[in-house]
């Protein structure tokens, strides 16, 4: 039995116990008032009979040897109607309260799960970026061993600066995680792609078909998705990458000479973030090209 079920059962049992106590008090109060009501009515009819002995009494009041009393079936029926009315309304109230509490508990639980899952994938993204950085660094080190060049050192310095900035940004995202998971804002896709693309140092040819398109979504999620798609393109492209912005989509295509089997972690993280932010991601390899399409409404 998980924690949420225990809380719900505790709440349901507490509500039932509270209403049981209320019922006990209400029924005792009703009985006292019923007794006072009977005495007042009988006293009233006694006075009437003193004035008029032939007065026709109501069906639920009987006379026996100058004594008046209520018929037992009338009292029982009145009490049952009162109890049944209270019981019906209380059952409905308990069901409504239980349903509302369950929905609130479910929303809170789902939100916690989403935040935990988002945090876990955030660390996956971070490890993915670090892995990419280390791979680039190792490549540059090998080049330096063969042919020391200042240009390679500059590229290594740029890579170090980029990974430092990414680490800082990721830590900031973790700190503001409760707000980040749902915050949405206006995002200029051209500027976003330019900013993310500048983090990749590569000699591959890049074609960028720009179009001024704005979307409303989570900025951190969009940046991470674009980063992962570009990272995948730069990692496996042979010589050329084409980025094109459409009215409701972004397409990233790269060529390759042979299919390289990777872990697929980057695309899996991108797919998760797309699902969480109501986006669609489609990708496939066709001929000598791999294309990934990010679709938004």
Structural domain includes residue 88: yes
Asked whether residue 144 is assigned to any structural domain, the reply reads no
Q: With respect to residue 171, please indicate whether it lies within any of the assigned structural domains.
A: no
Residue 56 predicted with pLDDT over 60: yes
pLDDT for the residue numbered 125: 66
Q: Report the C-alpha gap between 105 and 146 in whole angstroms.
A: 62
Asked whether residue 98 falls in the same domain as residue 193, the answer is no
64's torsion region: left (phi>0), alpha (psi -120 to 50) or beta? beta
* Listed range (3-17, 233-247, 274-288) with the worst mean pLDDT: 3-17
| pLDDT at res. 175 | 57
Give residue-wise pLDDT tens across range 169-183: 566 555 544 454 567
Contact predicate 223/189, CB 8 Å: no
Total number of domains constituting the chain: 2
Instruction: Answer with the residue of higher pLDDT: 193 or 50.
Output: 193
The better pLDDT of the pair 78, 118 is held by 78
User: pLDDT digits over 260-281, tens only?
Assistant: 554 466 787 788 888 888 899 9
- Domain encompassing residue 196: 184-297
250-to-54, 206, 232, 246, 255 alpha-carbon distances in Å: 97, 15, 15, 6, 17
Q: Are 259 and 235 in contact (CB under 8 A)?
A: no
DSSP collapsed to 3 states, 89-116: HHHHHHHHHHHHHHHHHHHHHHHHHHHH
Q: Is residue 129 part of a domain?
A: no
CA pair distance 68, 50, nearest whole angstrom: 12
CATH number at residue 295: 3.30.565.10
Report whether pLDDT(19) > 70.
yes
Statement: residue 8 has pLDDT above 80:
no
- Using one digit for the tens of pLDDT, what is the confidence trace for 207-224? 898 888 899 998 888 988
Same structural domain, 102 and 199:
no
| Residue 177: per-residue pLDDT | 47
**pLDDT band, very low/low/confident/very high, at 243 (cuts 50, 70, 90):** very high
**What pLDDT does 178 receive?**
45
Residue 237 has pLDDT above 90, yes or no: no
* Stretch 221-243: mean pLDDT: 87
Mean local confidence (pLDDT), 91-108: 86
Q: Does 54 reside within a domain?
A: yes
- In this prediction, what percent of the chain has a pLDDT beyond 70? 84
Please choose, from the candidates 85, 86, 35, 43, the residue with its C-alpha nearest in 3D space to the C-alpha of residue 68: 43
Residue 290 has pLDDT above 50, yes or no: yes
Residue with the bigger pLDDT between 195 and 162: it is 195
Q: Would residue 122 count as lying in a domain? A: no
Mean pLDDT for the chain overall: 80
**Residue 293 pLDDT grade (very low, low, confident, very high; cuts 50, 70, 90):** very high
């Amino acid at each position: 039995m998980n924690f949420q079920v225990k809380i719900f059962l505790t709440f349901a049992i507490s509500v039932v116990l509270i209403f049981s106590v209320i019922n006990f008090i209400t029924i005792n109060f009703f009985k006292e008032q019923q007794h006072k009501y009977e005495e007042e009515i009988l006293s009233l009819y006694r006075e009437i009979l003193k004035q008029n002995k032939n007065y026709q009494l109501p069906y639920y009041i009987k006379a026996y040897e100058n004594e008046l009393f209520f018929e037992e079936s009338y009292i029982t029926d009145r009490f049952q109607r009162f109890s049944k009315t209270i019981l019906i309304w209380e059952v409905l109230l308990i069901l409504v309260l239980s349903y509302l509490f369950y929905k609130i508990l479910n929303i809170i639980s789902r939100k916690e799960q989403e935040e935990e899952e988002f945090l876990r994938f955030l660390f996956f993204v971070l490890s993915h970026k670090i892995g990419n950085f280390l791979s680039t660094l190792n490549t540059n080190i090998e080049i330096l061993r063969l042919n020391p060049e200042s240009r390679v050192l500059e590229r290594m310095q740029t890579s170090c600066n980029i990974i430092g900035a990414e680490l800082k940004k990721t830590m900031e995202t973790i700190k503001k995680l409760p707000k980040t998971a749902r915050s949405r804002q206006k995002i200029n896709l051209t500027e976003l792609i330019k900013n993310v693309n500048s983090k990749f140092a590569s000699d591959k040819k890049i074609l960028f078909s720009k179009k001024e398109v704005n979307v409303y979504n989570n900025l951190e999620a969009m940046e991470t998705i674009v980063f992962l798609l570009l990272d995948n393109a730069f990692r496996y492209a042979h010589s050329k990458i084409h980025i094109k912005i459409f009215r409701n989509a972004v397409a990233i295509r790269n060529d390759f000479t042979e299919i390289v089997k990777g872990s697929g972690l980057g695309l899996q993280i991108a797919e998760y973030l797309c699902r969480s932010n109501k986006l669609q991601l489609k990708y496939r390899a066709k001929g000598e090209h791999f294309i990934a399409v990010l679709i938004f409404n």
